[in-house]
Amino acid sequence: MNKRQTRLFAIGGSVLAALLFLGMTLDSHRQFPKLTNAQNISPEVTLGNKVWHANNCINCHTLFGEGAYYAPDLTKITQLRGEAYLRAYLHDPAKFYDEQKVRRLMPKQDLSDADITGLIAFLDWVSKVDNQGWPPRPLLVSGSSLPGMAMTAAQQGSTTGTAATGPADTRPTTSGDNPIAQGESLFHSASPPCAACHSIAPGVNMAGPSLAGISALAEKALASGTYKGEAKNAKEFIHESIVHPSAYLEPGDMYSAAGTSFMPDTYATSLTPEQVDQLVDYLSTLK
């Protein structure tokens, strides 16, 4: 090849690549409205988008896996955490995580209620974008799909945690804290810990079924007609399942036999009524 030919190769190749790229760009624009549910970009979502930018969220978190790698990915966060949880968290992250334990903490942001509503709406819109099925399995902020993995070696040595020592990812809570945060802590520190048998990751069934989306499951059970318990709504259903595990039986030979659930029925006495309420508050935020 001489110089003229190589120049032709450089220019011709680049132009050809650019044309192909522009063609695919045009086609992408044709598909964006459907892929991104553009009709759902409400003024709230737009406000949330602005809040997301103004607070520089992307320089710690990732969204669609893009951003900085210092804080959890938030692409599907609204499918894992309910609005009540996210609202309480955004008001004061320090109520949920202890910086001494997890060694980093989200600084409290100066957000109004409207900002938070917008931000949650924006994140919810993001979570519904058709993004080629990523992530391949849910990305958890804390805890674990597998029992015990989130604990330190010392914590694994003792079969029960206490509110003071707790697993690595929970913050020691005090009575002044948000009930959801206290419930999350109890989930790991009750005796025996709920987390020993239940995962909060979708589809991860251990000794007990996954509690991801428990509220929706409760509504479904209540409406099924086969339910014989006394609960009228999802919160009452969750409450009942904690204190009277056999009132509703999850189908499957591994969870119950002869009408009796394998879950311990000791929580009615080992937990105070307030603690049960806190657990219900926490569990009903799981989506």
Neighbours of 7 (CB within 10 A): 11
CA atoms within 13 A on the CB side of 234: 16
Q: List the interface residues with other proteins, window 197-236 (CB under 8 A).
A: 201, 204
CA 283 to chain centre: 11
Residue 10 touches other proteins, criterion: CB under 8 A: yes
Applying CB under 8 A, which of residues 66, 230, 265, 274 lies at the interface with other proteins?
66
Establish if 139 lies at the interface with other proteins (CB under 8 A): yes
Shortest Å, Cβ 3 to other proteins: 5
- Residue tagged 């009796």 (tokens): 260
Tokens of 47: 């406000």
Give the shortest CB-134-to-other proteins separation in angstroms.
4
The rounded radius of gyration (Å) of the Cα atoms in the chain is 24
Query: Applying CB under 8 A, does 148 fall inside the site for other proteins?
Result: no
Q: Please tell me whether residue 27 binds other proteins under the rule CB under 8 A.
A: yes
256: which strand partners?
A: 261
Question: Of the candidates 79, 117, 127, 142, which one interacts with other proteins according to CB under 8 A?
Answer: 142
Q: Is 24 in the site for other proteins (CB under 8 A)?
A: yes
Q: Which of 114, 149, 207, 216 binds other proteins (CB under 8 A)?
A: 149
Q: Which of 26, 39, 112, 132 binds other proteins (CB under 8 A)?
A: 132
CB 282 within 8 A of CB 187: yes
Contacts with other proteins by CB under 8 A: the residue count is: 83
Sequence length of the chain is: 287
Tokens read off for 270: 């080992």
